[in-house]
Amino acid sequence: MSGAPLMGRAWPLRWDRLVADSRFQALAARLPFGRSLARRDGRAIFDILQGFVAAQVLGALVETGLLRRLLAAPARADALALAIGLPPERVEILLRAGVALRLLKRRRDGRHALARRGAAILGVPGLEAMIAHNRAFYADMADPVALLRGPEETELSRFWPYVLSGGDGVGRESAERYSDLMAQSQVLVAQDTLRQAPLARLRCLMDVGGGSGAFLSEVLRARPGLSAMLVDLPEVIPAARARLARAGIADRVTLCPQSFRDGPLPRGADAISLVRVLYDHDDASVRALLARCFAALPPGGRLIVSEPMSGGDRPDPATDVYFAFYTMAMGTGCTRSATRISEMCREAGFTRLRRPRPQRSFVTSVVTAVKPD
């Protein structure tokens, strides 16, 4: 760039080339409007650049249990360092970073306490477990170009064993581990799903890939007249049986241990939900699953897809960054837009596609469809 004249370029003007020219930046910095724009851009670029470090600071606050300790009582850095067995001068740095990120605050008496945001993390069901499990994702993101090059066995694909095995023999222990993680974060997903897809006039809902039944527990609590079926891998079913029994709704749910890849889905439900299921799988598997859902529903039966979705033509700052790379690191899935999911539902035969505006795209988005009469 440096040898080229700043003005007198060939038309059309390329804004990106102009802004990428260090002499343009120097000129802009001398003008009031240009100066504030340059500062804002600089700040935003720095925020992107330090995002990984900020996320790891949050990870450390969760992993060391500092957030929980500060919820119990405000404390000084040296007392906290002693309690968690780390050098005091390093804990001081961690706490200062937590204050800078507005997760913590430092009181006049020198003790640290939770700030509102730090307290909110503890108030969101499952968020601490989500933050802790990001360790596997961040390990994969440590070499993003290798990830983009793919396909490699990743930490995340090991965390979600059905991804590598296609559902065969995931092992009861790992099924329990991932089902528990999903269950913990289900409350928010269920709330947003039910707001966007009210389940009025339904008799029986079949939750396919329903995990340990956390979604059905929320739904059945809200809808006393509803019965349900839960389809998931045989290794997951014992956790579902236990959760549904604890919730006192075991008699309202039929458990169906089966892979949705093997044979038809059970009939009898007038609606099917797929909550955080499609984004785990490639297009061929999703097409086959949607065709099975279509076959299992009666005419007029409803399909509800709920998961974080790409912004499509207007990339979403949450789903097109975090979830797009997360599903890439899992290995088989991808973050699809509501438009793409609707197209796939239409290909399977569904009509009356609806895509309500998501309330929190980082929690979930919803697509609903109907099997024609």
Q: Contact with ligand SAM (CB under 6 A): which of 98, 118, 126, 167? A: 167
Nearest-approach distance from CB 287 to ligand SAM, in angstroms: 14
- Nearer to ligand SAM by Cβ, of 226 and 231: the residue is 231
Q: Select the residue interacting with ligand SAM from 69, 112, 243, 276 (CB under 6 A).
A: 276
Answer yes or no: are the C-beta atoms of 236 and 179 closer than 8 Å: yes
Q: Distance between CA atoms of 245 and 230, rounded to whole angstroms?
A: 14
Scanning the chain, the segments in alpha helix (DSSP H) are: 15-19, 22-29, 32-63, 66-72, 77-84, 88-100, 116-123, 127-141, 144-149, 155-159, 161-165, 172-184, 186-196, 214-222, 237-246, 283-296, 324-330, 338-348
Q: What's the closest the beta carbon of residue 240 comes to ligand SAM, in angstroms?
A: 9
Give the total of residues touching ligand SAM (CB under 6 A). 22
Pick 236 or 272: Cβ nearer ligand SAM: 236
Give min distance, CB of 357 to ligand SAM, in A. Answer: 21
Question: At closest approach, how far in Å is the CB of 148 from ligand SAM?
Answer: 23
Residue with smaller CB distance to ligand SAM, 118 or 210: 210
Nearest to 133 by CA among 63, 70, 187: 63
Start-end of H helices in 124-262: 127-141, 144-149, 155-159, 161-165, 172-184, 186-196, 214-222, 237-246
Closest CB to ligand SAM among residues 277, 369: 277
Q: Restricting to residues 213-242, which ones interact with ligand SAM according to CB under 6 A?
A: 214-215, 231-233, 236
Pick from 98, 118, 126, 211 the residue near ligand SAM by CB under 6 A. 211
Closest distance to ligand SAM from the beta carbon of 324 (Å): 16
Residue 260 as a binder of ligand SAM (CB under 6 A): the answer is: yes
Asked if 162 interacts with ligand SAM (CB under 6 A), we say yes
CB closer to ligand SAM out of 210 and 311: 210
Number of Cβ within a 10 Å radius of residue 123: 9
Q: Name 259's Cβ contacts closer than 8 Å, sequence gap at least 6.
A: 166, 167, 168, 233
What residues contact 182, with CB distance under 8 A and at least 6 apart? 211, 212, 214, 276
> What pairing do the DSSP bridges indicate for beta strands 204-208 and 227-232?
parallel
Minimal distance, residue 181 CB to ligand SAM, in Å? 9
179: contact with ligand SAM by CB under 6 A: yes
* 354 touches ligand SAM (CB under 6 A): no
210 lies in the binding site for ligand SAM (CB under 6 A): yes
Question: Angle between the 127-141 and 172-184 helix axes, to the nearest 10 degrees?
Answer: 120
Which residues are at the interface with ligand SAM (CB under 6 A)? 162, 167, 179, 182, 186, 189, 209-211, 214-215, 231-233, 236, 259-261, 275-277, 280
